[in-house]
Amino acid sequence: MIFRTLRQRTRRILPWLLCLATFASFPALAADKYPSQPIRVIIPFGPGGLADISLRLVAQKLSERIGQQVVIENRPGAGGVVASNAALGAPRDGYTLIVFANGTAISKTLFKLPFDPVADFTPISTVAYFDLVLLTNSKGKLKTLPELLAEGKKRQLVLGTINPGSTQNLSAELFRSMAGVNAMVVPFKNTSEVLTALLRGDIDVMFESYAALKGAIDAGQVTPIAATGTSRSAWLPKVPVVRDEGVPGYEVTGWNALFAPGGVPADRIKYLNEQLNAVLKMPDVRQRLEALGTAAGGSTQQEMAAILQRDIDKWAAVIKQAGIPTQQY
């Protein structure tokens, strides 16, 4: 009698228990679904620059692919501190990411940072690569890199760049040390000032990205005499690279990449890597980035980590040789 009663009660209670178990599992299922909300990508630069424009393009395509909005948030600040603090202060759930660039590798040595880009962040993938360009005044007599190098044997050259510690500035310092010429590097506040100095004849050559000087190049004001990459670019196919024109081994390749704060689940990092690499292989994405003077290119997490460490070591040596002091952010 007692067992029959227990069986009857169990039959009555069991459906309710199953319902409760099902409802209780819903939060866990929702938590496992990624992404289930918008993803924020913090950029340590202001709007309108190469990194901002290219990442917005990639974010749009990534949004379409994953079915969630990828929102770009600009957080400029010295050494990327503002952006990095914002990323590190967010939950480690894969919904807040950050853009690192070759400037991040420079900042590791140049600034006393309150974070470590290697230890505190997880690489996802590279996004795009770009080189810098050496440009001379189109009305001047220096039309090729060999001519510039020959002139540097006769007198002191003046190399113009933007602010000390920038990729442009350190690229010029690296060139000065490797080219074996008499040269001095003069920094200016911004690209416009460097261009004005070049057109006025105050400097012999300037180091800058193609994107920043495209207007002056197209207008015939300046002549690109060499690029800093390892091979000729699609946007300046007639312009040789420095290493092939008299300075063997010289190479500067800029990059933008996607990172996450340390602690984000590995499966979410893997998912983001796969989706981002798929976007970067899209022909329309590659064409639109190329028009900006940058080449789309994804990577594995390990490859990105190696690129960051390589550039940290490279620029630390250049900064030391140039005698640039460590700065407060």
> pLDDT band at residue 11, thresholds of 50, 70 and 90?
low
Q: Is the pLDDT of residue 42 over 50?
A: yes
pLDDT in tens, 141-158: 999 999 999 999 999 999
What pLDDT is attached to residue 120?
A: 98
> What distance in Å separates the CA atoms of residue 145 and residue 194, rounded to the nearest whole number?
19
Same fold, 39-129+253-322 and 131-244: yes
The CATH code for residues 39-129+253-322 is 3.40.190.150
Cα→Cα distances 269→65, 108, 284, Å = 16, 23, 25
pLDDT in tens, 189-213: 999 999 999 999 999 999 999 999 9
> pLDDT band at residue 23, thresholds of 50, 70 and 90?
very low
Q: Cis bond leading into 237, ω under 30°?
A: no
pLDDT in tens, 300-329: 999 999 999 999 999 999 999 989 898 876
What pLDDT is attached to residue 3?
A: 41
Q: Count CB atoms within 10 A of the CB of residue 219.
A: 10
> What distance in Å separates the CA atoms of residue 199 and residue 175, rounded to the nearest whole number?
21
Domain-by-domain residue ranges, the chain?
A: 39-129+253-322, 131-244
**Which among 272, 299, 279, 300 is positioned nearest to 35, based on CA atoms?**
272
For the stretch 52-86, what's the b/e string if a residue is b when 16 or more beta carbons lie within 10 angstroms of its beta carbon?
bebbebbbebbbeebebebebebbeeebbbbbbeb
> pLDDT band at residue 14, thresholds of 50, 70 and 90?
very low
What pLDDT is attached to residue 21?
A: 44
Average pLDDT over residues 85-103: 97
What pLDDT is attached to residue 16?
A: 41
In words, the CATH class of domain 131-244 is alpha beta
